[in-house]
């Protein structure tokens, strides 16, 4: 076991964990941050997506030892009040059905808009392709991202 100091949502958080513990479990089980979801455990579905220095990363396959001094942003840190342009657009377009994948979808969309504040339909589809939605709300996700891009 080793002690790690992680920068999460603008705050330093200490966790004691094995080097290979996935960041997902440190967030959920050690820090009580339940917004990031476990999906497949193999970095294939995107439910566990967080931002690491602004880039979308699958926290189920990212060991805490690899985070270092990079800034991690979870859904809880995207906006304290839930008023980020993406969160508002998600509500406006009634994106979630079961809702399970939505935090990962939003975090992946946030990384996209960080890189490209005005993406085309093709860029949205390409960037979001790795995030799976069991309910098939992909068209609403794309519409919400387009709306959010106008309000960031």
Q: How many residues in total does the chain contain?
A: 152
Structural domain ending residue among the three candidates 21, 51, 77: 77
Q: Which pLDDT value is given to residue 129?
A: 95
User: Residues 135-141: what's their mean pLDDT?
Assistant: 95
pLDDT(141) > 90: yes
| In contact, 90 and 58? CB cutoff 8 Å | no
Whether 44 and 106 share a structural domain: no
Rounded mean pLDDT of the chain? Answer: 96
Whether 99 and 69 share a structural domain: no
Structural domain ending residue among the three candidates 25, 50, 77: 77
pLDDT(80) > 90: no
pLDDT(107) > 90: yes
Whether 8 and 69 share a structural domain: yes
User: Residues 128-146: what's their mean pLDDT?
Assistant: 96
**Per-residue confidence band for 44, with pLDDT thresholds at 50, 70 and 90:** very high
């Amino acid at each position: 076991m080793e002690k790690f100091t992680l920068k999460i949502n603008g705050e330093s958080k200490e966790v004691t964990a094995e080097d290979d513990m996935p960041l997902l479990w440190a967030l959920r089980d050690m820090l009580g941050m339940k917004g990031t979801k476990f999906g497949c455990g193999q970095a294939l579905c995107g439910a566990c997506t967080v931002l690491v220095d602004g880039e979308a990363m699958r926290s189920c396959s990212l060991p805490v030892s690899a985070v270092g001094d990079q800034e991690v942003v979870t859904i809880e840190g995207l906006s304290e009040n839930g008023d980020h342009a993406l969160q508002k657009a998600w509500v406006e377009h009634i994106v979630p059905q079961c809702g399970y994948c939505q935090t990962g979808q939003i975090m992946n969309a946030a990384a996209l808009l960080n890189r490209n504040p005005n993406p085309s339909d093709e860029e949205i589809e390409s960037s979001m392709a790795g995030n799976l939605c069991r309910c098939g709300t992909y068209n609403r996700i794309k519409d919400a991202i387009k709306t959010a891009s106008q309000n960031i």
